[in-house]
Structure 1
Amino acid sequence: MTVPLHDLLLAPAPDVAPRLLDAVLVCAREGGTVALRLTELEAYGGQHDSDLPDPGAHTYRGRTARNASMFGPPGHVYVYFTYGLHHAVNFVCRPEGTGGGILIRAGEVVLGEETATRRRLTTRSTVPPFAGLARGPGNAAQALGLDREDDGATLLDLGAARDPVARAREEVDSRTQLPWTGLVLPEEAAGDVVVTARTGVSGEGGTDAFPWRFALRGDPTVSPYRKAAVKRRRTR
């Protein structure tokens, strides 16, 4: 029996993330609709005094105005602006008041390729290859059309399907009121999953102590893995 999305997201992010691979995220907006099959995700835990302390997470030092959505109820999205360059999108996990989330690192655009390409071209001069349309957190957020205004938005439970892409298309055709964001789960968990330390996370949070990056093995949309270098203190 498939667990409802809200109940699934009550669990810690490292447990949930593998289950979301091959799920399809749909973002329907006035400017166009894009659906993304999720192929690479990273899990993030909570603050330093929680049951899952994570020095690589925005939640580690507690709740702030910026990360408040990460402490909200499950079934919402947390969108932040990073490095002054791009946005990144997370699914909020854990019960309300307990920080946790799953970062979208990459996916395959399965609906709305023209819309996704148009959005990507607002910050680049050449058309990206299809496999690279939503490769990388910033590119995924841009292709989906999500930014800080979507922080805290409800994530609709679109059920589970043997063919999540087909279900996503049905939902897009049947819903007329915009905007909305929803997720279709695959009926069965993805089979061949690569598990590594997270990429681009500095310090302890980027080490093998946190093997919380999950990707579909061999999928062309997955970003190249680059293990973060751990900074060591200089000694005299």
Structure 2
Amino acid sequence: MTPRSTPATQSDFVALSREDLPVDPTAMARYLVGKVLVHDLPEGRVSGRIVEMEAYPLGDSTSHAFRGRRADNGSMFLAPGHAYVKLTYGVSYMLNISAEAEGVGAGVLIRALEPLEGIEIMRARRPRSTPRDLARGPGRLTLALGIGPPHDGVDLCAGRGLWLASLAAEVNGTLAPTRVGITTRIGLTRETHRLLRFYAAGSPFVSGPRHLLSA
């Protein structure tokens, strides 16, 4: 999908309900490719189409929930559709989403967005970035959209604040469904062979080496 020539408006989106979300990390990661992440900030709305997701299912040794529930990962054990915001490598916050039944720890990671609304707000937060790179990567997108520790545990299905949506054009059938590619995860040292990274095929906003997108 090529960059939009005009910004999205509120009528372009249909809020996702919890019932819309698959209760399984792998299925949810695939489902969310092509959906929209929206953040209503005091200075205005920012939003982006999700073009890259990673799944961290049950039994995955790279998952933050692998060793059980702790004080710092409790949001992963909430009902599907809650935000789990984690500082990684002491540098960047990353936005994950709880993806199993309540009480079961597993999640998905949003890796990249195609900016739709509030691009000037994003540029103010990431002034040295090109439009393509504003939200191309999990740490970049949280910075661009103003997401951090206060959003840990937020219900992304509430339709306000920080929330998930579908493009109305996909819902009503005037836009073709997003074509989803599958490949291995990146940025890990274990379980790197697993095909648990999902992306919008052909999108220039997907992160990582381009040659890995052929899987």
TM-score range, shorter chain: 0.7 to 0.9
Q: Are 1:202 and 2:189 an aligned pair?
A: yes
User: For 1:181, which of 162, 171, 182 is the aligned residue?
Assistant: 162
In the alignment, structure 2 segments of 5+ residues that lack a partner are 1-13
In the alignment, structure 1 segments of 5+ residues that lack a partner are 46-51, 122-126, 159-178, 229-236
Alignment of 1:18-33 (within 5 A): 18-33=30-45
Percent of aligned pairs with the same amino acid:
38
For residues 9 and 193 of structure 1, the distance between their equivalents in structure 2, rounded to whole angstroms, comes to 17
More RCO (CA 8 Å, sep 6+): 2
Instruction: Give the AA of the match of 2:94.
Output: A
Give, in angstroms, the shift of residue 226 of structure 1. 8.1
Instruction: Give the AA of the match of 2:163.
Output: G
User: For 1:112, which of 115, 118, 125 is the aligned residue?
Assistant: 118
Q: Which range is displaced more, 194-203 or 149-158?
A: 149-158
Describe the SS at the equivalent of 1:56.
coil
| Partner in structure 2 of residue 142 of structure 1 | 143
Describe the SS at the equivalent of 1:36.
strand
Q: TM-score when scaled to structure 2?
A: 0.82
Confirm or deny: 8 A CA contact 1:27 1:180 kept in the other structure: yes
Confirm or deny: 8 A CA contact 2:113 2:136 kept in the other structure: yes
Q: Are 1:55 and 2:61 an aligned pair?
A: yes
Confirm or deny: 8 A CA contact 1:74 1:95 kept in the other structure: yes
Calculate the aligned-residue CA RMSD, in Å: 2.3
Once the two structures are superposed, what CA deviation does each residue of 1:133-175 show, in whole Å capped at 9, x if it has no partner? Answer: 00000001111100011100111355xxxxxxxxxxxxxxxxx
| Partner in structure 1 of residue 207 of structure 2 | 223
Confirm or deny: 8 A CA contact 2:18 2:157 kept in the other structure: no
Describe the SS at the equivalent of 1:34.
strand
Q: Are 1:85 and 2:91 an aligned pair?
A: yes
Q: Are 1:68 and 2:55 an aligned pair?
A: no
Confirm or deny: 8 A CA contact 1:200 1:226 kept in the other structure: no
Q: TM-score when scaled to structure 1?
A: 0.75
Confirm or deny: 8 A CA contact 1:157 1:184 kept in the other structure: no
For residues 61 and 85 of structure 1, the distance between their equivalents in structure 2, rounded to whole angstroms, comes to 23
Could you list the structure 1 runs, at least 4 aligned residues long, displaced by more than 3 angstroms after superposition: 188-191, 225-228
Describe the SS at the equivalent of 1:156.
coil
For residues 17 and 184 of structure 2, the distance between their equivalents in structure 1, rounded to whole angstroms, comes to 26
Alignment of 1:155-194 (within 5 A): 155-156=156-157, 158=159, 180-185=161-166, 186-187=170-171, 190-194=177-181
Mark the CA change 1:55 to 1:151 in structure 2 (over 3 Å): closer, same or farther.
same
Mark the CA change 1:10 to 1:98 in structure 2 (over 3 Å): closer, same or farther.
farther
Describe the SS at the equivalent of 2:65.
coil
Between structure 1 and structure 2, the one with the greater Rg is 1
Describe the SS at the equivalent of 2:62.
coil
Q: Are 1:94 and 2:100 an aligned pair?
A: yes
Give, in angstroms, the shift of residue 40 of structure 1. 0.5
Describe the SS at the equivalent of 2:111.
strand
Count how many residue pairs are aligned between Structure 1 and Structure 2.
Answer: 192
For residues 105 and 161 of structure 2, the distance between their equivalents in structure 1, rounded to whole angstroms, comes to 24
Confirm or deny: 8 A CA contact 1:79 1:148 kept in the other structure: yes
